[in-house]
Chains A and B, each alone.
Chain A
Amino acid sequence: MERLVGHLRSVDPEASESLRIVEYFDVLLKRGAGVDGLLRGAAVLSGTVAGAEVRGRVSRRGPEGGVPDDAPGARCSSRRSGEGWSVWLERGGDALADDEMIVERLALGVELLEARRRPAGGLETVIDAESPVAERTKVLARLHLRAASPVRIIATPADAPEFGAPTATVPTPYGLLRATLDTADPSAPGEAVSPAGPAGLGTRVRADRAPESWEAAVVALRLADGTDPVVDASYLGGLLLVARGHDPRSPHEDVVALARLDPRAAHILRVLVESESMRSAAAALGTHHSTVQARHEALTRALGYDPRTPLGKIRYVTAELLLRLTDPAYLPASDG
């Protein structure tokens, strides 16, 4: 069985290397790995020595995971640094294609670890539901906010640019994301924080309930796509409660049933749900009424409910929403 497994870097170099790098570091951070674990990851993924200097202490790890015997080699150009830390790969000669991304993820990780160890934390404490309210309030005071001040949190991808407001990179069920504090008054539009790329806008809450806003922002970001790059969680209303009860790694069976449909069946289902009558559904699909009837019955069996009843419609729409919030690794392959 071990023959199937090689070193990370030697297995199928063609396949989605960048996804593999992102996934590797995301899991490390989510699971609380330290600087040495990050360095071992960067070293094995790059095949060369990875190093970090954090508050004056230098650590280096080779691709086998050990501390290299030799003196530090040339640091590659894609070195990153922040307040009190820097990270690098040691590679004589030109950087390889993935070096940049590996160093970036390593930097993100070290930045996160450093942010976590700062006394009382920063924004990551404010949005952390696990941290005591007293501690969150203390940090809010440092940000010149009262417990009752209106705020919302904005979620963007971890590598999105900062936009001049308190920000932190934090692990979520959907990987590392950037949280940014928005204290702008919505009635004064000139002041509003406006992210450009994909973003999820959290609900507006009292500052001491910022974790709720962050949770909503993360959901909203997940729903953002090419058509709607910026999604405001407040538009979801009560659906937010449903999303909050959803585990992206353990989807409800309605979600699983939906994921199993091939693209054609999924399209027919959508038309069926959105059409006033079976006749108009048949017209929209350009097929015969009896064909649509048969499709409708087959879909009802596949889903375990009739998607055209009032309750069925709600179940379908809810499942559709949750499907977009589910980790694809935990979904079955579509039948298509």
Chain B
Amino acid sequence: MLRPKVKPVLAYLVLIVPSSLIILGFLWLLITSFSTRVEGLQSLGWTLNNWRFLWESPFGPQYPSIWAVTLNTLVMSLIMTLIVVVVSSLTGYALSRMKFPGRKGFLSLTLILHAFPSVTLLIPIYFVLLQIAKIPLIGRDVPLLGGFGYNTIGGVALVMVAFQLPFGIWIMKGFFDNISWDMERSALIDGASRFKVWWQIIMPNIKPGIAALSIFSFLTAWNAYLIPLTFTAGRAGKSAVLSLYLQNFISESVMTEWNAVAAVGLFQLVPVVLFFLFTQEALLNIYGGGKKGGV
């Protein structure tokens, strides 16, 4: 057995040594984005050239500017977050509070869905989105979103919602499990509908859960790469998001400007780091708590 004094020191070492790799890596990224070349953490020449995408479009005027792309990313992340929260809380409520045949099976199923590799499903999902695009009104040409079909922000958001649902449903069910059902019961006896009870009585009581799931979903959506890459045509099209804009700088035919890639990457990272800093307190409510908890 280790002596009591040694243990905390050992614990801190386990935390600090790997943490130093992250610090080193991100320092390198920052220095690289402001340099022409680097050696280790040493810049071999400072420049602002890597950041010029901020004020001029690097691929020509016919492509959307970084700001249009940022707006797309924001819209997509917000839509995805909104749908994840609403759908997960509807389903989580039913799983936590209602009796129906197939309930246990459904809950296990939501977890098993997570075992379906996204890579497997990408090609068939492409065909599904092509079909959705044919539906009038919601398929395409919706302002801001584009719609919910192929090559639209809404469509990409919808696919990401599906992949986020297993997590969302389990988290929300945990929150509903922890609310006493007395309030709800009296409302039901008074003749309120299940939907009214859900919306007016239960939802206001799980605000911390809603906030936490929203933050987590938003961060996931902002950074999404594979799904937007697969389901939007043309990396610099009108539905491009930041992770695809970044992809434009990486080319197999011409020399990739890795320093510019670092700059665009940091541009994508900074807003969400700030967002995370200010919302971490709320995110830490993501575990519904209780003796057994829902998660």
The answer on A and B forming one complex is no
